[in-house]
Amino acid sequence: MSNIAPSILGIDVGTSSLKAVLYSIDGQIISIVNEKYSYETCKTGWAEIDPEVWWEAFKKAMTSLRKSGISLDQIQSIAFTGQMHSAVLLDRKDNVICPSILWLDRRAIKETEELQSMFQIPLYQLNSTYTISKLLWIYKNRNDITERISKIIWPKDFLRWKMTGQYYTDRTEAYGSGLYDWEKNTWAIDRIAAVGLKPKAMPTIQPASHDGGTIHKHIADELGFSESIKVVIGMGDMAALIGGAPPKQGRVVCSLGSSSMIFTTIESSKIISVPNDALYKLNMENYHLFGGVSSTTGAAIMWFYENILSGLENKIEFNEWIHEALEIEPGSDGVCFIPYLTGERSPYWSDDIRGGFYGLKLSHDKRHLARAVLEGIAYSLKHLLDLYEESGVIVKELALAAGGIRTPGLLQIIADVCQKDVFVYAGQETVTRVLFALSKENLGLGNFENNLMSTFNKPEIVNHSKQNKLAYEKVYSNYLKFSKFASSLN
């Protein structure tokens, strides 16, 4: 086994894979392991998975680390993050009752409307991705499941619970559940009752850097951890909001994943009002944030590649079609793509709104459509940046992070569409660097903010070009019209 110095392990429970990232105490990445899995789509719009799949993926990841020569008993701390909204339901004997309905599942659109009618919850606190909508669907359609629910927990908390037996969550998961009163900072008893449950089913909310319990001896023995390892609460994957770049007023951070989160830091006293709650305020680890969420960004790219291009006679590699798309001039000869493939959150908060291609001509081919997809993602980001400035929040700098930054040409397109230089501080490791900072604070090694700041390197910069400004402005003007038209149809 490798005789590495004491280290910190971050676990990210994603929608389609689990990632384990091992950090040295000074914040350098030692190793990254990915374990892929798939979820079930037994009906159109449905998405669910057996939570035990996550646990098995976690154990496989630990085996991979050991096989690479890393001694797990040298790991001082482990913390968890992951997809939000996807609740795990446990019975009185702590058995998983049923598959977890994932955040991207859209079966509960009607239930969302019912809940909105009942409670008049702000739109950014309730949509069909949220846990409460799915719980109401279960209550109405599978009451036999509701009657058995003793505990509710979320993916990252499920893994930590398997390790320690302690029933905790953090405030980010509460925010994303729809079962939490943001104003009173407590579980919303009336909403919990509306889905047929009692308050005792909800986990205790703990600060993200606090202890999550002591590891079970049999788990430590099975996986190779020390019995003294610190198991830290962690937070949901919205940690990317502060892990994508050093938080700073005037700097908007966009985490480009399957969906995207776009937020900036503001003064706590700043009063902001945006129509339709298109953008909203959020507090996280002493940071006061303002922004929104775009439902389909990286997922739109993969949709086009897997569902449109995969049907072509000659199979094309991912990067190859991107490079072919980049052969087309900026503006895609007028083709405009609206990326609302799973509805849209900011700025419309609608599960029913739909996307599409506009401006097609007989002379257009797959390359025009491909480039239009990339540009459509950039237009959706610019749409939110415009709302920032309309609300009085100045955008001086745009920082991008997460998996989408690997897409060839996308950063330049975003820079040119938004007419902002793009800064890349964090690469793909946005959420696990936050876990590193939380764990280090838990170990008594500095405070969270200083620990987080120490992980950022000098940024890579993609400068915007004024040469393409007019071409993009013309199509963006149409994008806004088509976007508004799409919102009027649902």
Q: What is the pLDDT of residues 396-450, one digit of tens each?
A: 999 999 889 999 999 999 999 999 999 999 766 889 999 999 999 999 999 999 9
CB-facing half-sphere around the CA of 98: CA atoms within 13 A: 19
Task: Identify the structural domains of the chain with CATH numbers, from first to last.
Answer: 7-235 (3.30.420.40), 238-490 (3.30.420.40)
Instruction: List the beta bridge partners of residue 399.
Output: 253, 423
Burial 356-382 (b: 16+ CB within 10 A, else e): ebbbeeeebeebbbbbbbbbbbbbbbb
**Nearest residue to 292 (alpha-carbon basis) of 249, 237, 253:** 253
pLDDT of 490 reads 66
Name the percent of the chain lying above pLDDT 90.
83
Q: What mean pLDDT comes out for the span 265-294?
A: 87
pLDDT (tens digit, 9 = 90+) per residue, 25-43? Answer: 999 999 999 999 999 998 9
Q: What are residue 369's phi and psi, to 5 degrees?
A: -65, -40
Given a cut of 70, whether residue 286 has pLDDT beyond it is: yes
Q: What mean pLDDT comes out for the span 325-349?
A: 95
Given a cut of 80, whether residue 4 has pLDDT beyond it is: no
Are the CB atoms for 241 and 266 separated by under 8 Å? Answer: no
At 181 the three-state DSSP class reads strand
Instruction: List the beta bridge partners of residue 249.
Output: 265
Angstrom CA distances, 268 to 249, 272, 286, stand at: 11, 11, 10
Spell out the residues 6+ positions from residue 157 whose beta carbon is closer than 8 angstroms to its own.
80, 88, 168, 169, 173, 203
pLDDT (tens digit, 9 = 90+) per residue, 348-360? Answer: 999 889 999 999 9
Given a cut of 60, whether residue 189 has pLDDT beyond it is: yes
Given a cut of 80, whether residue 313 has pLDDT beyond it is: no
The type of residue at 227 is E
pLDDT (tens digit, 9 = 90+) per residue, 106-157? Answer: 899 999 999 999 999 888 888 899 999 999 999 999 999 999 999 999 999 9
Given a cut of 50, whether residue 470 has pLDDT beyond it is: yes
Q: What mean pLDDT comes out for the span 202-212?
A: 97
pLDDT (tens digit, 9 = 90+) per residue, 191-205? Answer: 999 999 999 999 999
- CA angle in degrees (0–180, nearest 5) for 102-84-91: 65
End-to-end CA distance of the chain: 59
Mean pLDDT of the chain: 94
Spell out the residues 6+ positions from residue 295 whose beta carbon is closer than 8 angstroms to its own.
259, 340, 341, 342, 343, 344, 345
Q: Which of 39-53, 81-95, 168-182, 305-319 has the lowest mean pLDDT?
A: 305-319
pLDDT of 97 reads 99
Given a cut of 60, whether residue 1 has pLDDT beyond it is: no
Which DSSP symbol is given to 214? P
Question: Using CA atoms, how far apart are residues 175 and 273, in angstroms rounded to an integer?
Answer: 20
CB-facing half-sphere around the CA of 419: CA atoms within 13 A: 11
Question: Using CA atoms, how far apart are residues 10 and 24, in angstroms rounded to an integer?
Answer: 11
